[in-house]
């Protein structure tokens, strides 16, 4: 495994200041005392690993990242457990997805144990930054950028920087008294990902191309964009930073509810929360299904009462109920517009496992310190 040189920050944030930050959390605006960096070159492979003070990066302005956007990232969290320990959730799954993204963007893969070790190092050194409290966590952002100073577009960069930064965060969507239901915007004119493109990779360019629609969503009073398939603008794929789930009940009341999520067609991100929920559902008498749903079906099945709940899920969002859907041709409500029982039950279970309150039957919790 790659070795990391430990260079502690001689001037960490004073304790009283850090406590003030932890008492007033905002998503992704304050960063901890350290970061991890690791370099790759064609000659040396992965080398020069460091845990070092959080600081600005110095890059040649000709670096490939600035011109051709060769960048990938991950999003994960460290959770303070009930017993005071700190744990990650399925970090090997993030490492595996990082390598799939790397393959798609023609970047070098990082050994899974090095990826996980880099996270462990940062969390262990900055453990005082992991906040207490339901929904709060230390958000970890591993990323990789192309650093070769070269403008030719012949071969991918021959040098890269891997870096991990950390930010104490609250729940991504938080209400003052209860879990808020989201209003979502159907993006019918823009496309996030097309077949053969980079939709299944966690690449910065996907998000750069999504900002215009996300701004449109905010202007329409919505929280997030719902992306539709590129060819027909009909089939629901996912949201800007989350996967989507649909809960249906047949009129035969003895039937289990069905939990459907769009299948992984290569144009949406294979979410780790998505995979966790598909795995957990049968334990609660819920039938998981990977399928497809059109916007017309979504609207009709809400009107008929067959589709009772919709929720978004992801590392940042956890599980966020969708209450209202808005688009150029009008809007409709999901159920009664409030979080439904399946959504709340799965959310409670997932958070219970992540915070160490519930048994962990699949060994997803990875203790750090
Ligand atoms: N889809 C997109 C576009 C995302 O950015 C995310 C967030 O990471 C997800 C889905 C959910 O993935 P995960 O559950 O692994 O966080
Ligand atoms: C995450 O859930 O980790 C994400 O990457 C979503 C991000 C766009 C905030």
* Ligand 1 atom closest to the CA of 202, numbered from 1: 5
* Residues 124 and 189 both lie in one domain: no
Residues 254, 346: one domain?
yes
Q: Which atom of ligand 2 is nearest to the CA of 139?
A: 3
CA of 315, closest atom in ligand 2: 2
Number of domains the chain is built from: 2
Return the residue matching tokens 């795995």. Answer: 279
Closest Cα to atom 2 of ligand 1:
241
| Domain-ending residue, one of 169, 201, 233 | 169
Distance between CA 6 and CA 53 in Å, rounded? 10
Q: What is the pTM of this model?
A: 0.97
3-class state of residue 101 by DSSP: helix
Residue 360 falls within a domain, yes or no? no
Domain range for 303: 182-354
361 lies in some domain: no
Q: Answer yes or no: do 250 and 343 share one domain.
A: yes
Same domain, 204 and 314: yes
Verify that 190 and 336 share a domain, yes or no: yes
What letter would DSSP give residue 20? H
Same domain? For 138 and 220 the reply is no
Same domain, 128 and 216: no
Is 217 in the same domain as 314? yes
- Please give the C-alpha separations between residue 273 and each of 34, 76, 92, 263, 277, in angstroms, as whole numbers: 27, 10, 13, 14, 6
- 205 and 328 together in one domain: yes
73 CA from centroid of ligand 2 (Å): 10
- 88 Cβ neighbours under 8 A, 6+ residues apart: 76, 77, 78, 79, 116, 119, 120, 123, 140, 365, 366, 368
Residue-by-residue pLDDT tens, the chain, 369 positions: 899 999 999 999 999 999 999 999 999 999 999 999 999 999 999 999 999 999 999 999 999 999 999 999 999 999 999 889 999 999 999 999 999 999 999 999 999 999 999 999 999 999 999 999 989 999 999 999 999 999 999 999 999 999 999 999 998 887 555 788 999 999 999 999 999 999 999 999 999 999 999 999 999 999 999 999 999 999 999 999 999 999 998 656 567 899 999 999 999 999 999 999 999 999 999 999 999 999 999 999 999 999 999 999 999 999 999 999 999 989 999 999 999 999 999 999 999 999 999 999 999 999 999
Q: Which of 108, 135, 169 is the last residue of a domain?
A: 169
246 inside domain: yes
What are the tokens at 362?
A: 């699949």
> Tell me, what CATH number does 134's domain have?
3.30.470.10
Instruction: Tell me the C-alpha distance between 343 and 366, whole Å.
Output: 25
Same domain, 122 and 35: yes
Alpha-carbon gap, residue 129 to 88, rounded angstroms: 14
Pair (190, 157) in one structural domain:
no
Assigned domain for 211 exists:
yes
From 169, 199, 228, give the residue that closes a domain.
169
């Amino acid at each position: 495994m790659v070795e990391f040189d430990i260079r502690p920050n001689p001037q960490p944030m004073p304790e009283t200041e850090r406590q003030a930050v932890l008492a007033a959390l905002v998503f992704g605006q304050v960063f901890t005392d350290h970061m991890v960096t690791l370099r790759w070159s064609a000659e040396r492979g992965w080398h020069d690993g460091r845990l070092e003070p959080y600081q600005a990066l110095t890059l040649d302005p000709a670096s490939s990242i600035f011109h051709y956007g060769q960048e990938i990232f991950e999003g994960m969290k460290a959770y303070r457990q009930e017993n005071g320990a700190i744990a990650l959730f399925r970090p090997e799954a993030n490492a595996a997805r990082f390598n799939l993204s790397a393959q798609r963007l023609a970047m070098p893969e990082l050994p899974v144990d090095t990826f996980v070790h880099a996270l462990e190092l940062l969390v262990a050194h900055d453990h005082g930054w992991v906040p207490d409290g339901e929904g709060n966590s230390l958000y970890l952002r591993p990323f990789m950028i192309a650093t070769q100073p070269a403008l030719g577009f012949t071969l991918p960069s021959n040098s890269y920087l891997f870096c991990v930064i950390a930010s104490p965060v609250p729940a991504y969507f938080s209400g003052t008294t209860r879990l808020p239901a989201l209003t979502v915007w159907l993006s019918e004119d823009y496309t996030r990902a097309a077949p053969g493109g980079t939709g299944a990779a966690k690449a910065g360019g996907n998000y750069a191309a999504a900002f215009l629609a996300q701004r449109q969503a905010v202007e329409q009073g919505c929280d997030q964009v719902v992306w539709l398939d590129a060819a027909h603008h009909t089939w629901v794929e996912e949201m800007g930073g989350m996967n989507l789930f649909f809960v249906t009940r047949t009129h035969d009341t003895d039937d289990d509810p069905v939990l459907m999520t769009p299948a992984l067609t290569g144009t949406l991100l294979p979410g780790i929360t998505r995979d966790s929920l598909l795995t957990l559902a049968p334990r609660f008498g819920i039938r998981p299904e990977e399928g497809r749903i059109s916007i017309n079906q979504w609207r009709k099945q809400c009107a008929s009462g067959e589709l009772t709940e919709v929720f978004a899920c992801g590392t940042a969002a956890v599980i966020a109920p969708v209450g209202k859907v808005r688009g150029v041709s009008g809007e409709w409500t999901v159920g009664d517009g409030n979080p439904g029982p399946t959504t709340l039950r799965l959310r409670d279970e997932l958070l219970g496992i992540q915070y160490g309150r519930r048994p962990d039957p699949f060994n997803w919790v990875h203790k750090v310190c």
